[in-house]
Structure 1
Amino acid sequence: MNEHLDRLAPQPLWRHFRTLCETPRPSGHEAALAERLEAWADARGLAHERDAFGNLLIRKPATPGREAAPGVIFQGHLDMVPQANSDHPHDFTRDPIQTRLGDDGWLRARHTTLGADNGLGVAAALAILEDDELVHGPLEALFTLEEESGMGGALNLAEGWLTGRYLLNLDSEDRGEVFIGCAGGTDVVVEAQLPTAAMADDEVALRLSLTGLRGGHSGIDIHKGLGNANRLLVRALRALERFDARLVSYQGGTLRNALPREAFAVLALPEEEREAATAEMAALEATLRAELAGVDDGLSLTLEATERPADEPLNPQATHLLLAALHAAPCGVERMSQEVPGVVETSNNLGVVSLEKGRFQLGALVRSLRDSATRDLADRLRALFELIGARVRIENGYPGWTPQPGSELLTRFQRVHRERLGSDPAVKVIHAGLECGILGGKYPELEMISFGPLIRGAHSPDERVEVASVEEFWTLLRALVEDLARPAA
């Protein structure tokens, strides 16, 4: 399986990436991979240790004569986002990722996320550690856990553990760019037990399905105008309220940091309204497809008969209040940055919505370059859903990463980029949650940058990486490590 990866260059990096593809590693299930990497470190005589949370740190001493060089820390996360197309069963805790190389020079997975985020960064760090021809100072490779599910590894990272001066976060996704700042964020978790009422004899059960959206990363892709399945299905359900529809169940999205691609609802509706409701959904499908044309062209909205459910639907008032709150909830870009033109400052993703047996749950992710704006938007969501009697928790908050545009590390990276690739890198701030903000809070003396190969469609089954950019990334990383082992000019 994945033998074609062994034929790609640079071979050491792709060999490690193959190991990651064939070792299941969704968030919360990284133990097998961590143990495998520990065994690999033992075989190479490299020191390693784990902190109380389980984060893994591997150390390699400096090349003789370079012991006084500033230490370099490579940092990435072991987990990946587990997303598969609904028609492709895949157990991310047991099944390996199957990759395919297209004629267009891009590597993809078969019907699932690829795990290039952040598998390629981890693979690059491992390849550097085994490169015995490289001249380097003291090296540390920090591999964190549960980044994708809430930054758990970084938030619980041991203090006083890292010794390096420069940290290279290998979790970015654009060639020719280097990131020096990122958004912070927080989870908003909403729960409510809503009143139900039995189905009437003249009511029928219908299943409303919204599918075919592209999905994507809830930070990097939030500004692209892509469809959010939860936002759009709620819009459809609001349109069905005039036919006295009542909500029985709902399931939309699977991760709070991925734009939901699909959402489904079962509803109860008077039999006499079924034909008109079906026509209404057909008209709305045409409207939504027109609105998303050129951005998200695959949308499908269907209303079909289904078996009469065992669960009672919400009563009319509960249906109305829930749909009204979801419809009013902030979703998408809230504000663009004035300090960093073209970058989203604040956003919210309605990531996971569910309703079963009257129990409603919502998982949203608020992001902002300003920690004060993160807190404010999360509080607005709290205020909104408390109006319908829901319980709201704001948790797993993490800070943003304040840029250091004059740092020595950035200056040296820019020079190496010019020398090796013949161009200046674009210096950017990203609207996504890199771990640098958290790590900088624990280790304020660190200088940090983030860079990586060209990855698109992260957090969705469309995830892909441009193979040529990986070799370029490797060349740049290797040259930077050697440069940092020399005295500053």
Structure 2
Amino acid sequence: MHPKTQQILEVFEEINKIPRRSKHEEQISTWLQEWSRSRGFETKTDSLNNVLIKVPATAGYENSTTFILQGHMDMVCEKCKDSGHDFSRDPIRCICDGDWMRGDGTSIGADDGIALALGLVLAEAGEKGEIGHPPLELLFTVDEETGLTGARGLETGFFEGKILLNLDSEDEGIFIIGCAGGQNSLITLPVEWEEFDFKKEDLFRFFRLSVEGLEGGHSGVEINKQRANGIQLLFLALTELRKKLGTENIRLVLMNGGSVHNAIPSTAEAFVVLHREKREKAEKTVSNLRHAFKAEYAKTDPGLILNLEEINREIIFEVAEDKIRREEVPCIRFFSPETEEKLEKLILGLPHGVYRMSDNIQGLVETSNNLATVRTVENEVMIVSSQRSSNNLRLDEISKKVEAVAKLAGAWVEYEPKYPAWEPDLKSELLLKCKQVYTETFGKEPEVEVIHAGLECGIIGSAHEGMEMISFGPTIKDAHSPSEKIFIPSIEKVWIFLENLFKTYC
């Protein structure tokens, strides 16, 4: 193993001891500032907790242009069902498994903690004379995963460089020069409730219907892989149960599914009351559906689980922010038949997956939608639908389709601010130099791509004129899922590439 790879992994493990869920980056921001000041680097932050660390040029590079090395502090916090990990306080355990590093039943946060580790080790190596480099600005932003808030809030003058190396890509040997823009639709469906008649308690039992074990994944990277959406599968199962049992024999109490806007939902659950005389028929229906679903998604989601289990009358749930806390809350009501019907039509009517492929770049998803999350709150069901496109007209088109379906079901829609696409520049001097350096270093040409995922480059480039940008990084698989892992040998290649790229600016 390259000695710098070992150092980068050690720093990465230190970073993973610090909670850094999106919108809760205070601790990692403070840690980065303390790390910088303890080593004599100039550092600053802003009201959002973005961090900039200024690293002086090494000898011979004093007159070189300033490079920005950019990544984000936050991570998508996903874990397996049986994991007791608490992302708000527990360190993430990193496990080396051959050439891969993974978590212990959790996402590992290589997206994008590895960018932080690379930048910090590079800064120290320059100070020790182990590597030459131009003036550097290490720009670490907050809340990339849920709103790109940090990049949106960067004030003019916060950084000075005009060449930006974004270290948030996940396939070593591929240079990203463009990305999709996007928008989140926040859908709210009012709920009408009916009180539960406890005199009928001897006739009805409470059950949890769940979909689990799906692959999920990043909605900008894996949306074209036809993976199952847990929310949609759950409602397909609910619809079939209502059809087989009769709507009067199964009533919906609440449902929740998905985790964040940019992850394909890997889990979803519904709590229902079920007539005890229909239990056997319900279990048979679920068994048949389980076999059908597993056959349909055998290749994309081999771990799929559909389960119906009886539970105590006290339903366990409470939604707070983006997190479900499990507490005992007595159930005294369920959805009215009208609300159930509206919700069913809404969920099954919303588009999910690829909407259109690019006409100009073969294999590139141009436009998509991710039916991302569903939450039952006091008197509403709240749904997040995330649209992406590299074409502004198509982004509006898919967003309007989502809005139309929602309004037909009696819901209303609010939009979060759009984030812009990053338009590719195939004639960029930075791109040409990076291609040349990579080819000379590794004996093969890198691939150059535009991606469907969103990157902070789109926002930074649109708000700061004259930026030259490129995105790359070590290989990460299954980001935004408990299966996330990073390919250790690819870290060495990124380090060597950066070292040789900087030499061309001496």
- Secondary structure of the structure 2 residue equivalent to 1:19: helix
Mean Cα deviation higher: 430-439 or 185-194: 185-194
Mean Cα deviation higher: 300-309 or 219-228: 300-309
The Cα offsets for residues 11-53 of structure 1, whole Å up to 9 and x where unpaired, read as 3322321221111211122111121211221122211111232
Instruction: Give the direction of change, closer, same or farther, for the CA distance of 1:364–1:420 in structure 2 (3 Å limit).
Output: same
2:447 matched residue in structure 1: 426
Matched, 1:111 2:105: yes
CA distance in 2, matches of 1:14, 1:232: 38
8 Å CA contact 1:52–1:158 kept in 2: the answer is no
8 Å CA contact 1:205–1:269 kept in 2: the answer is yes
Partner AA of 1:422 in structure 2:
G
Q: 2:429 aligns with which of 408, 420, 423?
A: 408
Matched, 1:296 2:301: yes
CA distance in 1, matches of 2:332, 2:366: 42
1:327 matched residue in structure 2: 348
Instruction: After TM superposition, give the deviation of residue 94 of structure 1 in Å.
Output: 1.0
CA distance in 1, matches of 2:160, 2:377: 49
Matched, 1:87 2:82: yes
1:173 matched residue in structure 2: 170
Instruction: Give the direction of change, closer, same or farther, for the CA distance of 1:311–1:68 in structure 2 (3 Å limit).
Output: farther
TM-score, normalised via structure 1 length = 0.94
Mean Cα deviation higher: 239-248 or 467-476: 239-248
2:214 matched residue in structure 1: 213
Q: 1:384 aligns with which of 405, 415, 426?
A: 405
Mean Cα deviation higher: 144-153 or 384-393: 384-393
TM-score, normalised via structure 2 length = 0.91
Instruction: After TM superposition, give the deviation of residue 378 of structure 1 in Å.
Output: 1.9
The Cα offsets for residues 56-94 of structure 1, whole Å up to 9 and x where unpaired, read as 111122234433322110000011111111211222121
Instruction: After TM superposition, give the deviation of residue 128 of structure 1 in Å.
Output: 1.5
1:279 matched residue in structure 2: 284
Instruction: Give the direction of change, closer, same or farther, for the CA distance of 1:7–1:412 in structure 2 (3 Å limit).
Output: closer
Q: 1:148 aligns with which of 130, 145, 148?
A: 145
Instruction: After TM superposition, give the deviation of residue 460 of structure 1 in Å.
Output: 0.5
Mean Cα deviation higher: 34-43 or 416-425: 34-43
Matched, 1:128 2:122: yes
Q: 2:30 aligns with which of 20, 31, 35?
A: 35
Query: Which residues of 2 match residues 49-68 of structure 1 at below 5 A?
Result: 49-68=44-63
> How many residue pairs get matched?
479
- Secondary structure of the structure 2 residue equivalent to 1:74: strand
Matched, 1:461 2:461: no
Instruction: After TM superposition, give the deviation of residue 9 of structure 1 in Å.
Output: 4.3
Partner AA of 1:458 in structure 2:
A
CA distance in 2, matches of 1:412, 1:268: 64
Runs of 5+ in structure 2 lacking a partner?
315-330
8 Å CA contact 1:250–1:356 kept in 2: the answer is no
8 Å CA contact 2:132–2:499 kept in 1: the answer is no
CA distance in 1, matches of 2:378, 2:134: 59
2:387 matched residue in structure 1: 366
CA distance in 1, matches of 2:125, 2:4: 14
8 Å CA contact 1:72–1:140 kept in 2: the answer is yes
8 Å CA contact 1:311–1:357 kept in 2: the answer is no
Instruction: Give the direction of change, closer, same or farther, for the CA distance of 1:8–1:463 in structure 2 (3 Å limit).
Output: farther
CA distance in 1, matches of 2:502, 2:458: 22
Instruction: After TM superposition, give the deviation of residue 270 of structure 1 in Å.
Output: 3.4
Segments ≥4 residues shifted beyond 4 Å? 6-9
Q: 1:257 aligns with which of 262, 275, 285?
A: 262
Instruction: After TM superposition, give the deviation of residue 408 of structure 1 in Å.
Output: 0.3
The Cα offsets for residues 284-331 of structure 1, whole Å up to 9 and x where unpaired, read as 111111111122111111122233351411111210111111001011
CA distance in 2, matches of 1:162, 1:371: 29
8 Å CA contact 1:199–1:268 kept in 2: the answer is no
- Secondary structure of the structure 1 residue equivalent to 2:193: coil
CA distance in 1, matches of 2:47, 2:16: 26
Matched, 1:450 2:471: yes
CA distance in 1, matches of 2:332, 2:434: 59
2:336 matched residue in structure 1: 315
Matched, 1:188 2:209: no
Q: 1:16 aligns with which of 11, 20, 24?
A: 11
8 Å CA contact 2:166–2:472 kept in 1: the answer is yes
Matched, 1:228 2:229: yes
8 Å CA contact 2:13–2:94 kept in 1: the answer is no
Instruction: After TM superposition, give the deviation of residue 443 of structure 1 in Å.
Output: 1.1
Mean Cα deviation higher: 427-436 or 12-21: 12-21
8 Å CA contact 1:453–1:470 kept in 2: the answer is yes
Instruction: After TM superposition, give the deviation of residue 251 of structure 1 in Å.
Output: 1.3
Identity within the alignment, %: 39
- Secondary structure of the structure 2 residue equivalent to 1:14: helix
1:3 matched residue in structure 2: none
Partner AA of 1:283 in structure 2:
N
Partner AA of 1:388 in structure 2:
A
- Secondary structure of the structure 1 residue equivalent to 2:359: coil
- Secondary structure of the structure 2 residue equivalent to 1:258: coil
CA distance in 2, matches of 1:351, 1:38: 34
Partner AA of 2:170 in structure 1:
E
Matched, 1:477 2:498: yes
- Secondary structure of the structure 2 residue equivalent to 1:366: strand
Matched, 1:71 2:60: no
Instruction: After TM superposition, give the deviation of residue 357 of structure 1 in Å.
Output: 4.7
CA distance in 2, matches of 1:91, 1:98: 12
CA distance in 2, matches of 1:68, 1:137: 8
Mean Cα deviation higher: 185-194 or 10-19: 10-19
Partner AA of 2:255 in structure 1:
Y
8 Å CA contact 2:342–2:410 kept in 1: the answer is no
CA distance in 2, matches of 1:477, 1:364: 38
8 Å CA contact 1:175–1:469 kept in 2: the answer is yes
The Cα offsets for residues 224-261 of structure 1, whole Å up to 9 and x where unpaired, read as 12111111111111112212132111011111111111
The Cα offsets for residues 403-434 of structure 1, whole Å up to 9 and x where unpaired, read as 01110000000011011111100000111111
Mean Cα deviation higher: 86-95 or 9-18: 9-18
8 Å CA contact 1:205–1:266 kept in 2: the answer is yes
CA distance in 2, matches of 1:68, 1:304: 68
Mean Cα deviation higher: 354-363 or 93-102: 354-363
CA distance in 1, matches of 2:280, 2:379: 27
